[in-house]
């Protein structure tokens, strides 16, 4: 058995906690940073420290934010009657880049997944209900992914909207079922938005 530095082992263990990083990739990254790019290693460490210390969640939409209210929620130019529900901050970024939407968002930070123990509480449903309670929202646009769990989450939220007499719509994916919003191109995303149907 190869005997390695405890610090290198700790670094590899830490890297393996990243999504999609297995033992080989963790080792490659660790050796690269230590062997060839220590400046990058220090930059990454510093950026991580700062992001973890500064970034919290917007008290309104739940997206990442350094302030209590994010810039989208605080903007007077956003249409407050339209609320778009997405699974992740990455999905929000994709929609913003498509330019298809000028309303406000709610970011679930996940999707319902009973098998993984992720229920309504874990995806911020009580906060979403508070937001709907406010009375400004007229239409809830369900932009969760076209996966089984994404569809189940959309259905669950549409029932909440219906109980409050609000219109719920589902974006029309021009992609096969299983498509994840983050990877859909801007044009398709804009079409999916304009072609949304009542849910
Ligand atoms: Zn916000």
- What is the assigned CATH class of domain 64-198? alpha beta
**Tens-digit pLDDT profile for the chain (199 aa)?**
566 799 999 999 999 999 999 999 999 999 999 999 999 999 999 999 999 999 999 999 999 999 999 999 999 999 889 999 999 999 999 999 988 899 999 999 999 998 999 999 999 999 999 999 988 999 999 999 988 999 999 999 999 999 999 999 998 875 555 567 777 777 778 878 888 888 8
Q: How many helices (H) and strands (E) does the chain have?
A: 8, 7
The pLDDT score that the predictor gives to residue 170 is: 93
Ligand 1 midpoint to CA 63 (Å): 6
| CATH code given to domain 6-54 | 1.10.8.420
139-142 and 79-86 as β-strands: parallel, antiparallel, unpaired? parallel
The pLDDT score that the predictor gives to residue 103 is: 95
Consecutive H or E run containing 79: strand 79-86
The pLDDT score that the predictor gives to residue 117 is: 93
Cα torsion 133, 136, 139, 142 to 10°: value is -60
Ligand 1 midpoint to CA 194 (Å): 23
197's CB contacts (< 8 A; 6+ apart) are: 169, 170, 172
Residue ranges of the chain assigned to CATH 3.40.1360.10 = 64-198
Distance CA 157, CA 176 (A): 22
Distance CA 136, CA 125 (A): 17
Ligand 1 midpoint to CA 82 (Å): 14
Distance CA 65, CA 71 (A): 8
Ligand 1 midpoint to CA 94 (Å): 16
Residue ranges of the chain assigned to CATH 1.10.8.420 = 6-54
182's CB contacts (< 8 A; 6+ apart) are: 88, 90, 91, 94
Ligand 1 midpoint to CA 79 (Å): 13
Q: What does the block give as tokens for 140? A: 């809830």
């Amino acid at each position: 058995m190869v005997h390695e530095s405890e610090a290198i082992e700790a670094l590899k263990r830490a890297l393996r906690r990243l999504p999609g990083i297995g033992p080989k990739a963790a080792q490659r990254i660790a050796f690269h940073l230590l062997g060839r790019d220590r400046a990058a290693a220090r930059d990454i460490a510093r950026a991580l420290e700062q992001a973890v210390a500064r970034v919290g969640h917007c008290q309104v939409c739940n997206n990442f934010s350094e302030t209590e209210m994010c810039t989208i929620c605080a903007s007077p130019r956003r249409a407050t009657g339209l609320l778009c529900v997405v699974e992740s901050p990455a999905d929000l970024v994709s929609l913003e880049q498509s330019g298809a939407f000028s309303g406000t968002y709610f970011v679930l930070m996940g999707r319902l997944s009973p098998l993984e123990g992720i229920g309504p509480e874990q995806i911020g449903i009580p906060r979403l209900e508070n937001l709907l309670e406010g009375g400004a929202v007229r239409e809830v646009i369900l932009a969760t992914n076209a996966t089984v769990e994404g569809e189940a989450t959309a259905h669950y939220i549409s029932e909440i909207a219906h109980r409050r007499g609000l219109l719920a719509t589902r974006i029309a994916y021009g992609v096969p079922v299983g498509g994840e919003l983050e990877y859909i191109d801007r044009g398709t995303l804009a079409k999916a938005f304009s072609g949304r149907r009542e849910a």
